Amino acid sequence: MIAEKEHIAGKETPSPGGNVLVIRNLFKSFGNNHVLADFNLEIQKGESVVVLGKSGSGKSVLIKCIIGLLEPDKGSIEMFGKNIPDLDEQELDEIRAKVGFLFQSNALYDSMTIRENLEFPLRRHWIEVSQDEVNTMVMEALEDVGLEHTVDMMPAELSGGMRKRIALARTLILKPEIILYDEPTTGLDPMTAKGIIELIVEIQKKYNTTSLVISHDMNCVRMASDRVVILVDGRCYASGTFDSLLKNPDPNVKQFFE
């Protein structure tokens, strides 16, 4: 077992940035529903990877395993050199401070104003932070998504696209080194979706973040990806640049590009 791991590790050619995220032999099932079966993925620093998969193929399960919200049955998920399933609560929190997570359903706190929503991760991760600093960071994050004027509103008063952007601002506020996006454009009209994708690309450039995007929106895949990974039957079925996959004749790959 150990020898096999070393063998795999030895095969890697270390990239200049190094791997930020390495997933090996990941298994996760719910009862008889084998959602992830032997999933492997590596993401280098600064890289932007899009995971494509059908609805219900386990994309959300995958990134929930990465952030430690779900416990995998088997396999390792190394982020910043630490194996996520092995970490205790405190170590996990330290890692999570460096990771942004954009929920599919936004998950804005209904009972809090936009300001309080954005302050929440700041206050919870960094307990020693002055009110002035907090205010500056909140406004800075809102500026990044162009919604400064909503700071004292409640989430219920915003449109779906605005909520997505606020959720993005909340993800950005900690200046994460890696951001995990769960279907950032689903449920939005094409124009708004395009705006969100542009925002994601802009953020990638501005903060040089590593990103893992889950999507089945072709615009998103084309614009935001350095590399595309196709998730079929719980495994990484194919992987490559958008253009190379576009030419791939395999029907399992083709179906996504029609």
Partner 1 sequence: MKVKLFLTEAGELSRFTGRFFKQWFRPRYEIAELMRQCYVIGYNSLPLVGLTAFIMGLVLTMQLRPSMVDYGVESQLPAIVGIAIIREIGPVITALIFAGKIGSSIGAELGSMKVTEQIDAMEVSGTNPFKYLVVTRVLAATLMLPVLVLLGDAISLYGSWLGVNIRSTTSFSLFWTQVIDNLSFSDVLPAFIKSYFFGFAVGIIGCYKGYTSSKGTEGVGRSANSAVVVSSVVIFVIDLLAVQVADALGFKLKT
Ligand X SMILES: Nc1ncnc2c1ncn2[C@@H]1O[C@H](COP(=O)(O)OP(=O)(O)OP(=O)(O)O)[C@@H](O)[C@H]1O
Residues of this chain that interact with partner 1 (CB under 8 A) are 64, 67, 69, 89, 93, 96-97, 99, 101, 103-111, 120-121, 124-125
Interface pattern 104-143 for Mg ion (x via CB under 5 A): x---------------------------------------
If binding is defined by CB under 6 A, does position 53 make contact with ligand X?
A: yes
Contacts to ligand X from residues 180-199, by CB under 6 A: 183
**DSSP symbols for the chain:** -HHHHHHHHHHPPPPSS-EEEEEEEEEEEETTEEEEEEEEEEEETT-EEEEEE-TTSSHHHHHHHHHTSS--SEEEEEETTEEGGG--HHHHHHHHTTEEEE-TT----TTS-HHHHHHHHHHHH-SS--HHHHHHHHHHHHHHHT-GGGTTS-GGGS-HHHHHHHHHHHHHTT--SEEEEE-TTTTS-HHHHHHHHHHHHHHHHHH--EEEEEE--HHHHHHH-SEEEEEETTEEEEEE-HHHHHT---HHHHGGG-
Report, in Å, the least distance between residue 30 CB and ligand X: 4
Report, in Å, the least distance between residue 171 CB and ligand X: 18
If binding is defined by CB under 5 A, does position 57 make contact with Mg ion?
A: no
Q: Return the range that interacts with ligand X (CB under 6 A); candidates 50-58, 138-146, 152-160, 200-208.
A: 50-58
- The token pair at 125 is 């991760």
Residue closer to Mg ion (CB basis): 181 or 242? 181
| Nearest residue relative to Mg ion (C-beta) | 60
Q: Which partner from the list ligand X, partner 1, Mg ion, none does 30 bind, CB cut-off 5 to 8 Å by kind?
A: ligand X
Given 19, 57, 60, 211, the residue binding Mg ion (CB under 5 A)? 60
Q: Which partner from the list ligand X, partner 1, Mg ion, none does 107 bind, CB cut-off 5 to 8 Å by kind?
A: partner 1
- The token pair at 123 is 């206050």
Report, in Å, the least distance between residue 197 CB and Mg ion: 17
Residues that bind Mg ion (CB under 5 A): 60, 104
